[in-house]
Amino acid sequence: MPNKTILITGIAGFIGFHAARRFIREGYRVIGLDEVNDYYDPTLKEARLTELGTDYTFYRVSLEETAAVARIFEQESIDLVLHLAAQAGVRYSIDRPDVYMTSNIVGFLSILEACRHYPVEQLIYASSSSVYGSNTKMPFATTDAVDHPLSLYAASKKANELMAHTYSCLLYTSPSPRD
């Protein structure tokens, strides 16, 4: 799929960085979005961004900045979205639940709304094994129930899965609300 534009949220994170490197190498036009917060070492994140060089476009934006996210979609003609950004950490969600709701729920809604108003070919959302919560069956399977998360982080990731499913159904399996 070279000659496609992909937006990678959380590009300064471990997975985002490695995904960006691969997509750049394969000829994609890469747009990166990350707020570069201090939950993990910002120096490491900045080093990753520097290592990517000049072969991509970077926006230092928080996902919950809905208008800024929409402007990126409007300006960049995005074909694909790889949504990796999230406030991570199970323990931190106990101390700062507001951060998880803002980043993971409001931030993901911002991405979904941008995809709705500036249609993309595909949105790939990275959830978390934390959604399996109190399941005891190992190994986990995608068919396992994920109805009993054990942390606010896990609950936010499960909520995102439900939001993605709902948007997918509304946008691709039924008439558009604009019709």
User: Among all residues, which ones are annotated catalytic?
Assistant: 153
User: CB count, 10 Å around CB of 75?
Assistant: 12
The tokens of 119 are what? 């249609």
Q: Are 153 and 89 in contact (CB under 8 A)?
A: yes
Return the ∠ at Cα 9 (arms to 7 and 10), rounded to 5°. 145
The tokens of 175 are what? 């008439």
Residues 34 and 62: their CA atoms lie apart, in Å, by: 7
